[in-house]
Structure 1
Amino acid sequence: MSKTQKVMKKYEKQFASNVTSGFGSFIRTTGNVFVRIFKFFDNKLTIMIVPHSQSKVINFQTNVFALCLGTLLTLGIFASFFYYSRRSLSANMEISALTEQNRETLASLDQLRDENTNLFQAAKRFQTSLSQSLSLLGIDQSDNNSVSTNSNSDLASLFSSTEVAQGTSREVADVKELTNYLEDAVKPIEQIGKMLKTQQNLFTEIPSISPVKNPNYHISMPFGPNIHPLNGNWYIHKGIDFSTWRSGDAVLATASGQVVTVGFDNSFGNQIVIKHSHGMYTRYAHLNSMRVKKGQIVAQGEVIGTIGNTGVSTGPHLHYEVHIGSDVVDPQKYININFAK
């Protein structure tokens, strides 16, 4: 064996000895620490309860480990108690909030049911009015009724079925039935719209709007028997007198037509006469100014002059007449048929 090998062998033995010695020292130190800890926790303690009276003193013998363990358990119990108490309080608050929300939801549901009842009452009135309107216009309802019957959307069957159904499903079924009925009602309403559109020209040819543009007018003298404001005798007033308590308010053509008279009359003052279709004429008298010419074509609602106090008149007003051929008729009957926009 060489000298170098001998030296290496010597260092190996020394290193092994040091490792063994260090590990043994670590084991002994660790053992001593555990022994000291065990001895500390195994120290005996005596707890004495001394009453104020002459009763016997109570002694409890324990050690540090049992005392620490009991303390930890006690603290754990108190901590768990506070934790679950807080959770319980939070849960109670959440339950209260949900209860209040449920109460509000029930109140809203009751209100919804009331509105649902009102909706069906309005639907009944709508059905009656629609049927009457269709009958007056001569629109055949058999096709619509057959469709409604096949789809179970007729309101009569609807209201009879609602008496059998119960609960929330009843309201849902009612709304569905009403939706079906309204969808079926669209067709006859569209027919009414088409009919009105085709008759639009007829409406503009009939004196159906008020001849005074100012909405704050009043009728100072109606059509028919009246007392003459000048001589006090009874006479037949052949038109309607409209008054706005002032001159200058616009006068409108009540129907489309052709101007046949523009001029002054001793009785009517400044007057305009318009010829309409179907043998109808309208007269506008006592005007302050006239804004059309003879032969001019005017449209319904067009301004033709202004209210005045010309001719035999006791104050600013419009004398308005409607003639059918040679007959004078009450204009109020046509003004009530108001198709003006």
Structure 2
Amino acid sequence: MKFIWGKKELTLMIIPGANHRTVRFKLPHSSLYIVPSLILLVLIGFFVTIYLMNIYSHQTRTSMQQTFDGQERQLVNQITLKNSELEQLQNNLIDLSQQANEFKVKLEEIKKLDHVIQLMSQPEGTNRTSKKLSMESTESLGGVRSDIGGSEVPVTSQEVTTLVSSTKQGLTSLVGDINALLVNLSESEVRLEEAERLRSITPTLWPTVTHVITSGFGIRRDPFTLKPTMHAGLDLDGETNDPVYATAAGKVVEASFDNEHGNHIIIDHSRGIQTEYMHLNKMLVKRGESVTKGQKIGLLGSTGRSTGSHLHYEVHKNGVQIDPSPYLITNRKDEP
């Protein structure tokens, strides 16, 4: 390559080889200044671009570092919060487990109460089969003490999982026990109500304050004719105007006077049982009136066919007079 200087222009010759054609370029003389200037401008632009890129890269790195630091702090705060929430959940789980154990103790007490109710609701003379109560579990769960201690050992995830599983199983078992207990309590309540109803309509109460029997049930010599007659009740001694009580709850089906029975009251107790109270000085109830067990229904006297103040008391079963003695088992003061 060869330059040829002229007055106003430059000739650029490129000679590739002996066997090739020479290539000439004519350049203006001013290109000696323009080309270096362009090269200088390009270099300046390059270095300025590199500098600006370094500044932008530094700012970007700084911004990214700040963002990363912020995200790191936020992540640390979130982890700390999650750890606190996890610890709180573990404490709540422990409380729930303890409450479940305490509830088991209460459930055992309710089971014992249900057992007592079942025994109370069973009729007299029946075979009372006792349930086996889980006293061992009651004893093992009952004593929660405050004087406790030991080393501080962090719990493992396996231990927490085991506690969750056992608590869940315990609560599931409790739900089953509660459902069964509710059924038993409902059945016991029905039986108890029925037993209470039967108790209230069964004439087990003494109708007078005194328990002196002057004439029993059965064949005796009639006090007026002195002939053998059937005495279909009990004569209970007492003073005039002593209180006379209904021996069971029921409905008054008769409250009237006749020459033989005097002032007398008949109470129907359902199930084919009736009681009759004769020779009253005064009647305190009327026909059609409902009475409760132990209610005062009259005053003792000697009206009708009677030799003195007493109460003639009869028990009728399906229309037949029976001996009242087996029914007289309860004092009025023993009644609620």
TM-score (norm 1): 0.44
TM-score (norm 2): 0.45
User: Bigger radius of gyration, 1 or 2?
Assistant: 2
- Of Structure 1 and Structure 2, the greater helix share is in 1
